[in-house]
A and B are shown apart, each in its own frame.
Chain A
Amino acid sequence: MGPDLEKGTENPVDRLNLDVDIACVGFGPAMGGFLTTLAREMEQASGEPHVQSTVLPGMPLQVVCYERADDVNFGVSGLVTEARAIRNTFPDMNPSEIPLAHPVSEERIVYLLDPHGASRRSLGLRIADSAIRGLRWVLPYRRSALELPFIPPFLKKHGGLVMSIGQFMQWVSNQVSSSGMVQIWPGTPVGEPILEGKQVVGVRIADQGVQKDGTPDVGYMPGMDVRARLTVVGDGPVGAVGQRLDEQFGLPEGHHQHDWAVGMKVVVSLPDHCDLVPGTVLHTLGYPEPEIFGFLYVHPERIASLGIFVPSTLASPVRTVYRYLQHWMLHPYLWHHLEGGTLRSWGAKTLQESGRLGEPYLAGDGYARIGEGSGSTNVLTGSGVDEAWMTGVLLAEGVIDLLKKGEPFTQANLEAAYTNRRRKSWVETGSRKAQHARDGFRKGFVTGVLGMAVSGLTRGALNLKTRSAHPREGIPDLNQYYRDRISSEELQRIREECAKNAIPLHDALMTRAGWPEIPLDGKLLISQQDALLLGGKVQAAPGFADHVMFVDPAVCEQCGTRLCIEACSAQAIAPSPSGGTPEFDREKCIHCGACIWNCTQPRPGDRERGNIRFYAGAGGLHSAEN
Chain B
Amino acid sequence: MESGYHIVVCGSLVPDPLQTLEPDVGPKGPALKNEMVLPSVLDPWAAHALYEAAHLAKEYAGSKVWLVSVGPKQRLQQLMMTVAQKAPFSFVPVDGSASGFCDPFETATALANAIGAIPDLDRSRLLLFGGYASASRDAGVTLQVVGEMLGITEVFLAVDSLSVSENGEISLLERVEGGNYLFSECDCPPLVVGWATGHLPEPPNNPQIGMANMRSIMPALQKAPQVQVGAEGVSFAKVELPQQQRTTRIVKDVPVEQIAGEIVAWIRG
Which one of A184, A208, A527 contacts B205 once the chains associate, using CB atoms below 8 Å?
A: A208
- The answer to whether B207 touches A537 (Cβ under 8 A) is no
Report the stretch among B36-44, B56-64, B105-113, B115-123 that lies at the interface: B36-44
Q: How far is the CB of A572 from chain B (nearest CB, A)?
A: 11
Q: Which residues of A contact B74 (CB under 8 A)?
A: 174, 178
- The answer to whether A530 touches B248 (Cβ under 8 A) is yes
A100 to B38 CA separation, bound complex (whole angstroms):
12
Determine if B178 is an interface residue (Cβ-Cβ < 8 Å): no
- The answer to whether B81 touches A184 (Cβ under 8 A) is yes
Q: How far is the CB of A362 from chain B (nearest CB, A)?
A: 27
Determine if B208 is an interface residue (Cβ-Cβ < 8 Å): yes
Q: Which residues of B contact A530 (CB under 8 A)?
A: 246, 248
- Give the interface of B toward A (CB within 8 A): 16-20, 34, 36-39, 74, 77-78, 81-82, 85, 201-208, 210-211, 214, 218-219, 221-222, 246, 248-250, 252
- The answer to whether A18 touches B211 (Cβ under 8 A) is yes
Q: Which residue of A lies closest to B39 (CB)?
A: A624
- The answer to whether B210 touches A183 (Cβ under 8 A) is yes
Q: A64-B207, A183-B214 are in contact. List 13 more A-B contacts (CB 8 A).
A: A16-B208, A66-B207, A72-B78, A177-B77, A178-B77, A180-B218, A185-B205, A221-B204, A221-B206, A537-B16, A537-B19, A588-B250, A622-B18
Which one of B77, B203, B208 contacts A18 once the chains associate, using CB atoms below 8 Å?
A: B208
Q: Which residues of B contact A527 (CB under 8 A)?
A: 248
Contacts A18-B211, A530-B248, A622-B39; is A188 near B85 (CB within 8 Å)?
yes
Contacts A170-B78, A183-B214, A185-B81; is A539 near B202 (CB within 8 Å)?
no
A521 to B118 CA separation, bound complex (whole angstroms):
54
Interface on chain B toward A: helix, strand, loop, or mixed SS?
A: loop
Q: Which residues of A contact B204 (CB under 8 A)?
A: 208-209, 219, 221, 543
Q: Which residues of B contact A344 (CB under 8 A)?
A: 20
- The answer to whether B37 touches A177 (Cβ under 8 A) is no
Q: How far is the CB of A410 from chain B (nearest CB, A)?
A: 26
Q: Which residue of B lies closest to A301 (CB)?
A: B34
Q: Which residues of A contact B85 (CB under 8 A)?
A: 185, 187-188
A539 to B202 CA separation, bound complex (whole angstroms):
15
- The answer to whether A71 touches B205 (Cβ under 8 A) is no
A314 to B46 CA separation, bound complex (whole angstroms):
49
Q: Top 5 closest A-B pairs, CB basis?
A: A208-B204, A180-B218, A537-B18, A221-B204, A624-B39
- The answer to whether B208 touches A186 (Cβ under 8 A) is no
Q: How far is the CB of B143 from chain A (nearest CB, A)?
A: 27
Q: Which residues of A contact B34 (CB under 8 A)?
A: 99, 301
- The answer to whether A529 touches B250 (Cβ under 8 A) is yes
Contacts between the two chains (Cβ within 8 Å), count: 108
A541 to B19 CA separation, bound complex (whole angstroms):
16
Q: Which residues of B contact A585 (CB under 8 A)?
A: 252
A184 to B80 CA separation, bound complex (whole angstroms):
10
> Which among A66, A70, A188 has the greatest number of chain B C-beta atoms within 10 A?
A188
Q: Which residue of A lies closest to B204 (CB)?
A: A208
Which one of B78, B82, B207, B249 contacts A224 once the chains associate, using CB atoms below 8 Å?
A: B207
- The answer to whether B201 touches A219 (Cβ under 8 A) is yes
Q: Which residues of B contact A187 (CB under 8 A)?
A: 82, 85, 205
Q: Which residue of A lies closest to B86 (CB)?
A: A187
Q: How far is the CB of B83 from chain A (nearest CB, A)?
A: 10
Q: Which residues of B contact A224 (CB under 8 A)?
A: 206-208
Q: How far is the CB of A613 from chain B (nearest CB, A)?
A: 23
Within 8 A of B (CB), among A391-421: none
Determine if A370 is an interface residue (Cβ-Cβ < 8 Å): no
- The answer to whether B211 touches A183 (Cβ under 8 A) is yes
Task: Give how many A residues have a beta carbon under 8 Å from the other chain's beta carbons.
Answer: 52
- The answer to whether A180 touches B207 (Cβ under 8 A) is no
A218 to B202 CA separation, bound complex (whole angstroms):
11
Q: Which residue of A lies closest to B83 (CB)?
A: A187
A187 to B37 CA separation, bound complex (whole angstroms):
19
Q: Which residues of B contact A71 (CB under 8 A)?
A: 16, 39, 78, 81-82
Q: How far is the CB of B250 from chain A (nearest CB, A)?
A: 5
Within 8 A of B (CB), among A119-165: none
Determine if A611 is an interface residue (Cβ-Cβ < 8 Å): no
- The answer to whether A218 touches B201 (Cβ under 8 A) is yes
Q: How far is the CB of A95 from chain B (nearest CB, A)?
A: 15
Q: Which residue of B lies closest to A536 (CB)?
A: B18
Q: How far is the CB of A322 from chain B (nearest CB, A)?
A: 15
- The answer to whether B81 touches A99 (Cβ under 8 A) is no
- The answer to whether B37 touches A167 (Cβ under 8 A) is yes
Contacts A73-B39, A224-B208; is A186 near B201 (CB within 8 Å)?
no
- The answer to whether B37 touches A625 (Cβ under 8 A) is yes
Q: Which residues of A contact B211 (CB under 8 A)?
A: 18, 20, 62, 64, 183
A301 to B16 CA separation, bound complex (whole angstroms):
22
Which one of A18, A177, A624 contacts B207 once the chains associate, using CB atoms below 8 Å?
A: A18
Which one of A72, A188, A624 contacts B37 once the chains associate, using CB atoms below 8 Å?
A: A624
Determine if A533 is an interface residue (Cβ-Cβ < 8 Å): yes
> Which among B16, B36, B219, B252 has the greatest number of chain A C-beta atoms within 10 A?
B16
Determine if A205 is an interface residue (Cβ-Cβ < 8 Å): yes
Q: Which residues of A contact B37 (CB under 8 A)?
A: 99-100, 167, 624-625
A625 to B37 CA separation, bound complex (whole angstroms):
7
Determine if A226 is an interface residue (Cβ-Cβ < 8 Å): yes
Q: How far is the CB of B91 from chain A (nearest CB, A)?
A: 13
Q: Which residues of B contact A614 (CB under 8 A)?
A: none
- The answer to whether A188 touches B207 (Cβ under 8 A) is yes
- The answer to whether B214 touches A174 (Cβ under 8 A) is no
- The answer to whether B20 touches A205 (Cβ under 8 A) is no
Q: How far is the CB of B161 from chain A (nearest CB, A)?
A: 18
Determine if A173 is an interface residue (Cβ-Cβ < 8 Å): yes
A16 to B221 CA separation, bound complex (whole angstroms):
29
Q: How far is the CB of B19 from chain A (nearest CB, A)?
A: 6
Q: Which residue of B lies closest to A210 (CB)?
A: B204
Determine if A389 is an interface residue (Cβ-Cβ < 8 Å): no
Determine if A282 is an interface residue (Cβ-Cβ < 8 Å): no
Q: Which residues of A contact B17 (CB under 8 A)?
A: 537, 539, 622
A180 to B219 CA separation, bound complex (whole angstroms):
8
Q: Which residues of B contact A297 (CB under 8 A)?
A: none
A207 to B172 CA separation, bound complex (whole angstroms):
34
A588 to B251 CA separation, bound complex (whole angstroms):
12
Contacts A71-B78, A74-B39, A185-B85; is A533 near B207 (CB within 8 Å)?
no
A529 to B205 CA separation, bound complex (whole angstroms):
29
Q: Which residues of A contact B218 (CB under 8 A)?
A: 177-178, 180
Q: How far is the CB of A36 from chain B (nearest CB, A)?
A: 16
Q: List 17 A-B contacts (CB under 8 A).
A: A18-B208, A20-B211, A174-B77, A177-B77, A178-B77, A185-B85, A185-B210, A187-B205, A188-B207, A208-B205, A224-B206, A527-B248, A534-B20, A537-B16, A539-B17, A542-B201, A624-B39
Which one of A184, A588, A624 contacts B38 once the chains associate, using CB atoms below 8 Å?
A: A624
